Structure 1
Amino acid sequence: MFSPSRAASLNLKEPRIYQEIRNFPAQFLASWKIVRDHPKLTPWAPTPGATVYYAAMGGSSLPADLVNDGLGAGPRLEIVRDYRLPAAAGPQDLCIASSYSGNTEETLAALDDALARGCRAISLSHGGQLEAKAAAAGIPHVAIPECIQPRCASGYFFASLVGIFYRLSLIPNPEALLDRLAKHLSGVQDACEARGKALAEALRDRVPIVYGPAEFAGAARIWKIKFNENAKIQSFSNVFPELNHNEMVGFTRLLMKPALIFLESRFMHPRVKRRMDVMEEILGREIPIHRLACGGESPLFEMFEGLAVADYASYHLAQAYGIDPAPVEMVEAFKKKL
C-alpha cells in the first residue's frame, strides 16, 4: 500500500494549502488583470463550426468544466484530456493548452498536435516547457500566478479563460462579474469553513459520493477530486437524473461505507429536486445523505461556493486522518516510473 506523508512530522496548524483556500477569492481579479493587459491577445473571428479545444490534465483542466457549465456565454470548450486533439481539428480551430507546471506531457503533445494541424493556439502555465514552447512557436502565453497545487488555482485558470474569451472578442467585458464573484466568495468564507468542517466530521471513515444536477457535473467531479487529492481517499461522482436509471441500483448490496452528498441548486429542474427527495426516502435509512445548497446570483456562484465547502471539507478530513493534504506523492511516483 502506498503511504503518503504523515502530518505528525509537519506543522499543520496553518499550512500553505490552508492559506491558499482562505485566499482563493483573490485569484479571480489577479488573473483577470494579467489577461486584460496582455499585449499579444487579439480578436478572433471564428468561422461557422470552429471549435475551441482546451488541452489540459488534472487540476489544470478542472476550471474548463466550470466555464462550460456556469459561465453562460462564449463558446463551449471541448476539453481534451489526452495526447492528441480529435481528428477533425484543423486551421479553423483554436487550441488553448494549459498546464500549471508547464511540463505535463499530454498537454505538451496536444499543443504540438494542434500546431501541426495549423490551429490557432494560446498557452497557459506557471513557466515550464509550455512557456518555452509558446515562445518558440510565437503564440501568446498567459502566465498563471504561483500556487501550491494546480487544484488550488481554479480561480486563476477560470479568470484566465474568461479573460481570453473577452480579449478574443467572444464575450463582453467580464470584470464586473469576476469582481462580484470574488466579493461573494470572500463574504462566505467563514460559513463555508464551518460547513466544510462539519461535513468532514460526518464523512470520517466513509466514501464520499457526490451527486448533483446535470448542469453541476463539472462541480461534482471537482468535489470528488478534492477528496481524492486532499484527503487521499476514494470518492466518486455522478449526476441526476441519469444515476436514477442505473447507478443507484448498486446500493442494493453495499461493499463499502458510503456517504452521499447532494449538490442542490435553486436553478435546477424541479423534477431533479423531487428525484433527490425520493432517493433520500429510499436510501436514507441505510446511507447518510448530506444535502448542500449554496447561494449567489447564478449557478456559477453556487458552484464556486460549494467548491469552497469542498476545499474545507477535504482539508479538515485530511487533518482528521493525519495526512498532509498538499502533496500527491502517488502521482509523482507514477510519473517517475513512466
Structure 2
Amino acid sequence: MYAVYDRWSEIARESFESEQNMVNFDHINHIVFAGMGGSGTIGDIFSSILSRSKIHVNVVKGYVLPKTADSNTLVVSISVSGNTAETLSVLESAQKINCKTIAFSSGGRILDFCTKNKIQHRVVPQIHSPRASFVSYLYSILKVLHVTLGIKQEDILESIEELEKIGTRINSSNLTDSNMSLNLAKWITGIPMIYYPFGLQSTGIRFKNSLNENAKIHASAEDVIEACHNGVVSWEKKSNFQPILIEGQDDHIKTKERWQILKKLLQQNDIEYKEIISIKGGILSKLVNLIYLLDYTTIYLAIKLNTDPTPVKSIDFIKKNLKIEKI
C-alpha cells in the first residue's frame, strides 16, 4: 500500500492527463454525488468546492436519491469496485426519472447497468484498493467533468503540484523527525477525536475512515462549531480520546475564534492535542494535501501497531451477507 501512496502525485497527474473523454452537461441546477466510503469522500470534496456556487449539491451515502432530483439533476455515481449496492440503487433511481447521469467504476455491475441502459460511464482501474485509488478517481473525474463543474484547470494543476511537494516530506523515503505523518502516527496512542471546520469536512471524515480501515482502530470526527454545543463537555472527564484539530488557513473569523477557545479549554483540562493546519491556496489544494498527509499517518500507525492495513475482513463480511438483486 505504501508504494502506491508514494506515487500519489504521479498517479494524480497521469489521471488528469489521461485520454478520458470530457463531458459537458448543460442546464444543470442540482448535482448528486453518490458513493460509499472513499467514493463518498470524493463527493464530499466536490461539495466543498462547489459550496460557493449557485448549484445545489447533495452527497448520497446510501440507497435513496433525493426527492428534489429531476431532469435538470446530474447524478455522478462513483464506485471503485463497480459493485457497490447502494450506489447502484441510486443510479437505477436516476435512470428511471431521466436525470443526467454518469458513472465511474473499474467495471462490475455498474458498468453492466450503464452499458445496458446507454448511460455515460468511464472506466478507472482500481489501484491496490478503493482507498488507495482515491487520487486516480478524483483526478479522472476532474478530467471528465471540470468544465461542467466550473473548476479551473489551473486550480487542478496547482493541487497536483502541492501533492508533489508534500509527498517528498511524508513518503517512505523520509523516515525522519521532519515527516509530519510519521510524527502524528507516533503520537496517537488512544482514540483520535478529530475536529474539522466547515469546508474541510471531507478531510475529517476521510481521516476517520482511513484510521478505521488501515489502522483498524476506533476514531470519531465532528464539526468544531457543532462540537462546542455538545461534544466538548466530554473533556471534563479523563479518557483515552486524543483531540486532533484540522484547521484551515482561511477559516471564517468566528471559526478561528472558536479554535482558540477550544484550545484554551483543552489546556485548562491538561489535555494534549495536535494541530494540523492546511496549506494556503485553493480549496482543492487544501483538501488533497490534508488527505494525503492524514492518510499516510494511518499507514504509519498501522505499521506501529503491527497491523496489515490492506485487508478489511469486516467489510468483506458485510458485503458477503448482502442480498444481491438482479440488474
TM-score for the superposition, normalised by structure 1? 0.86
1:231-274 superposed Cα distances (whole Å, 9 cap, x missing partner): 110111111222111111122234x4011111122201233223
Counterpart mapping for 1:1-338 below 5 A: 17-34=1-18, 37-38=20-21, 42-46=23-27, 50-70=29-49, 75-168=55-148, 170-171=149-150, 174-193=152-171, 194-204=179-189, 206-254=190-238, 256-284=239-267, 285-338=269-322
Distance across 2 between alignment mates of 1:89 and 1:213: 28
1:89-121 superposed Cα distances (whole Å, 9 cap, x missing partner): 222222111100000111111111111111121
Distance across 1 between alignment mates of 2:274 and 2:112: 46
1:68-107 superposed Cα distances (whole Å, 9 cap, x missing partner): 2136668453111121212232222221111000001111
2:176 corresponds to: none
Unaligned runs of 5+ in 2: 172-178, 323-327
Are the counterparts in 2 of residues 258 and 287 from structure 1 also a CA contact under 8 Å? no
What secondary structure does 1:53 align onto?
A: strand
1:21 is displaced (CA, Å) by 1.3
1:16-57 superposed Cα distances (whole Å, 9 cap, x missing partner): x101211111233323234x641xx5432225xx32111111
Q: CA RMSD in A?
A: 2.0
TM-score for the superposition, normalised by structure 2? 0.88
Distance across 1 between alignment mates of 2:89 and 2:225: 36
What secondary structure does 1:211 align onto?
A: strand
Distance across 2 between alignment mates of 1:243 and 1:116: 40
Q: Which runs of 4+ in 1 moved over 4 A?
A: 71-74
1:273-325 superposed Cα distances (whole Å, 9 cap, x missing partner): 23222222222343220011132422332222222221221111111111101
Q: Which amino acid aligns with 1:45?
A: D
Distance across 2 between alignment mates of 1:31 and 1:323: 30
Q: Judging changes above 3 Å, is the alpha-carbon distance between structure 1 residues 157 and 195 closer, same or farther for their aligned structure 2 residues?
A: same
Q: Judging changes above 3 Å, is the alpha-carbon distance between structure 1 residues 166 and 185 closer, same or farther for their aligned structure 2 residues?
A: closer
Instruction: Kindly tell me the number of residue pairs found equivalent between the two proteins.
Output: 313
Q: Which amino acid aligns with 1:248?
A: V
Are the counterparts in 1 of residues 5 and 296 from structure 2 also a CA contact under 8 Å? yes
Are the counterparts in 1 of residues 155 and 282 from structure 2 also a CA contact under 8 Å? no
Q: Judging changes above 3 Å, is the alpha-carbon distance between structure 1 residues 230 and 74 closer, same or farther for their aligned structure 2 residues?
A: farther
Distance across 2 between alignment mates of 1:60 and 1:299: 19
Distance across 1 between alignment mates of 2:63 and 2:274: 38
Distance across 2 between alignment mates of 1:264 and 1:75: 26
1:336 is displaced (CA, Å) by 1.5
Are the counterparts in 2 of residues 74 and 165 from structure 1 also a CA contact under 8 Å? no
Distance across 2 between alignment mates of 1:91 and 1:138: 16
What secondary structure does 1:130 align onto?
A: helix
Unaligned runs of 5+ in 1: 1-16
Distance across 1 between alignment mates of 2:69 and 2:183: 47
Q: Give aligned-pair identity as a percent.
A: 23
Distance across 1 between alignment mates of 2:226 and 2:153: 36
Distance across 2 between alignment mates of 1:247 and 1:307: 24
Q: Judging changes above 3 Å, is the alpha-carbon distance between structure 1 residues 231 and 42 closer, same or farther for their aligned structure 2 residues?
A: closer
Are the counterparts in 2 of residues 192 and 305 from structure 1 also a CA contact under 8 Å? no
1:156 is displaced (CA, Å) by 2.2
1:114-149 superposed Cα distances (whole Å, 9 cap, x missing partner): 111111211100111111111111111112133122
1:14 corresponds to: none
Distance across 1 between alignment mates of 2:241 and 2:30: 39
Distance across 1 between alignment mates of 2:35 and 2:43: 9
Distance across 1 between alignment mates of 2:279 and 2:311: 31
1:219 is displaced (CA, Å) by 1.3
Distance across 2 between alignment mates of 1:75 and 1:27: 29
